Structure 1
Amino acid sequence: MAEFIKIYEENPNPKEIKRVVKTLREGGVIIYPSDTVYALGCDIKNNRAMERVAQLRGVKLEKANFSFVCENLSNLSDYVKQIDTPTFKLLKRNLPGPYTFILPGNNNLPTVFKKKKEVGIRVPNNAITLAIVRELGNPIISTSIKDEDEVIEYTTDPELIYEKWDNLVDVVIDGGYGGNIASTVVDLTGPEPIVVREGKGSLEL
């Protein structure tokens, strides 16, 4: 049975945030709100938890395209190669926000992602998510709970999400109704930014 924890975005309760982080540190998998859609997440430092998330999404972990959710841009150098000033300015202008930016990964990527040349970075404009990452002290991985193959809308109602995922995850956070449009994915690994998926973030980068 998953815990169902209500957290208000206007003022996330530190006690509830600590409960969620304790679960993450123990290798738990959570479903949490973001500035786009509800997502599955776990501690980036816990391989077993990442395996579980990959299994839930029906993909092999080393092939999974999970995003890293960071608290702010200062975490970037932990996982991303040196970026130039224009790229940094573009990130600074648009984050926190509904974007996933693909950047060249460095050698500090978790072992399972070592073969990956790039990494998707998210800094969602959502106080609950940012409070969790801040309390945890390192990024969490993120993958939306929608299945790309299904035509159904993103699940936006936390109670329905809880009903569906109750036996599969450890915590479902009720942070209010979620959106149903995913983040805009922008590839910054080449000379020019390329929009890989149009989503909630404006394309006026």
Structure 2
Amino acid sequence: SELGTYAKVDNSQFRQLKAATPGSYTFILQATKEVPNRTLHPKRKTIGLRVPDNKIALALLAELGEPLLSCTLMLPEDSEPLTDPYEIRDRLEHSVDLVIDGGWCGTEPTTVIDMTDGVELVREGKGDKSLFGL
């Protein structure tokens, strides 16, 4: 596992992460010095880790053999994230190199769990918080 290269986790945390991924969770973890500063929370030196239950994303990760930096696709003029692949293509095909149509991904956000100091629910979302005793 490459996780230890980018985030500081103990054995208990690793087991919890392994049991919940891939899944609808984002985990806040203490970053290691290997993580570029521009990708860190500026004051807390943390990262968000997400391993989605999505065949395309998992295939990309397997092929790359390293983490992939991503974000929710929300354009400045929009109030909601873009999730429809046809709309994404129509609006962005001339601004990006590639659009992969993986179908509609839904709008329910992930459950965010902060594991920097224990286990704390930051946002309740699609992932089952009871896996973490919350």
Q: What's the TM-score, normalizing by structure 2?
A: 0.84
- C-alpha deviations, 1:157-190, integer Å up to 9, x for none? 2011111222332111101121111211110001
Match of 1:203 among 121, 129, 133: 129
Segments of 4+ in structure 1 off by > 6 A? none
Which residue does 1:96 correspond to in 2? 22
Which residue does 1:119 correspond to in 2? 47
Match of 1:138 among 54, 59, 66: 66
2:87 aligned with 1:184, yes or no? Answer: no
C-alpha RMSD of matched pairs (Å): 2.1
Alpha-carbon distance, 1:111 to partner: 4.4
Gaps of 5+ in 1: 1-73
**What are the within-5 Å matches in structure 2 for residues 1-205 of structure 1?**
74-81=1-8, 83-113=9-39, 117-146=45-74, 151-152=79-80, 154-191=81-118, 193-205=119-131
Alpha-carbon distance, 1:86 to partner: 2.0
Alpha-carbon distance, 1:102 to partner: 0.7
Q: Whole-Å Cα distance in 1 between the matches of residues 111 and 100 of structure 2?
A: 23
Structure 1 residue identity aligned to 2:72 = S
Alpha-carbon distance, 1:112 to partner: 2.7
Gaps of 5+ in 2: none
Greater strand fraction, Structure 1 or Structure 2? 1
| Partner secondary structure for residue 99 of structure 2 | strand
Alpha-carbon distance, 1:151 to partner: 4.1
Using CA pairs below 8 Å that are at least 6 residues apart, which structure has the higher relative contact order?
Answer: 1
Q: Whole-Å Cα distance in 2 between the matches of residues 168 and 185 of structure 1?
A: 30
| Partner secondary structure for residue 19 of structure 2 | helix
Q: What's the TM-score, normalizing by structure 1?
A: 0.57
Count of aligned pairs between the two proteins: 129
- C-alpha deviations, 1:79-122, integer Å up to 9, x for none? 012x2222112111111101110111011012434655111111
Structure 2 residue identity aligned to 1:146 = M
Sequence identity of aligned pairs in percent? 41
